[in-house]
Amino acid sequence: MSQNILQVHSIHGAKYQSVWDFQEILLQKVIHSKRASEVERTHHVIFCEHRPVYTLGKSGSIDNLKASLMELEQENFEFHKINRGGDITYHGPGQWTIYVIIDLESYYRDVHKYVRSLEQIVIDVLAEYAIDGFRLDDFTGVWTGEGELKRKICALGVHLSRWVSMHGLGFNIEPNLEHFRNIVPCGIATPDKTITSVTQETRIPVSMEAIKESFLKHFQNHFPMDLVVNTEY
């Protein structure tokens, strides 16, 4: 029986491409490990605070980028087309972009269940801050809000290769929500759906590190592993 080990990486202020390249390196390591049928299987979670960047998923529309590339450059925003699912989103300071590189076959072969599990982890984290997080039919990610107005607090988009995952979640803790103005977030343009954050909902400062610890605790409820914290990038 294989032993599952989780390495945790933290990255702050790196350019998007360098983090994407790092993901690809880890992805190939996990794929090589399973090909070699190694008894010890190492998986990875990266917690990243990006420089301001917009990413467009493979199923997204460039029409959902409301600013020109020249305007983005002038405002020091990056832009990348990437291979995850979903449409356009924003990553930046005050948001945990959480990249999950695990061999899903160590647990099950079900993409739908995997996505629902990631959503549930965030919902469980939010409950610790008295925020009612939930799913919406036809809209991937985690939402909150009462009545007709719903507020998205976590975006989600994944990619799998040989059942090894990459990409993951954009979890809004205390980002500058004005940075979402240049896009139609996740391609959702209806006025009854907006963007929010943990601090916007709680109205008090929230520790990024505390959110990370909570996420890892709930993550291991869904994907039991021996935890190894690796602070080196």
Give the domain CATH number at 34. 3.30.930.10
Mean pLDDT of 163-186: 94
Q: What is the mean pLDDT of residues 54-66?
A: 91
pLDDT of residue 147: 86
Which DSSP helix (H) or strand (E) runs through 92? none
Instruction: Mark whether 48 is an active-site residue.
Output: no
Structural domain that includes position 206: 3-229
- At residue 1, does pLDDT exceed 70? no
Q: Which pLDDT score, from 0 to 100, does residue 165 have?
A: 97
pLDDT for residue 182: 92
Whole-number average pLDDT of the chain: 93
Give the span between the Cα atoms of 166 and 62, in whole angstroms.
22
Counting the structural domains of the chain, the total is 1
**SS3 assignment for 126-144:** HHCCCCCCEEECCEEEEEE
Which pLDDT score, from 0 to 100, does residue 230 have?
Answer: 78
* Residue of 45, 186, 198, 211 with catalytic role: 186
- Residue whose C-alpha is closest to residue 61's, from 183, 222, 198, 205: 183
pLDDT over 60 (residue 103): yes
Non-local (6+) Cβ contacts of 176 within 8 A are: 92, 93, 94
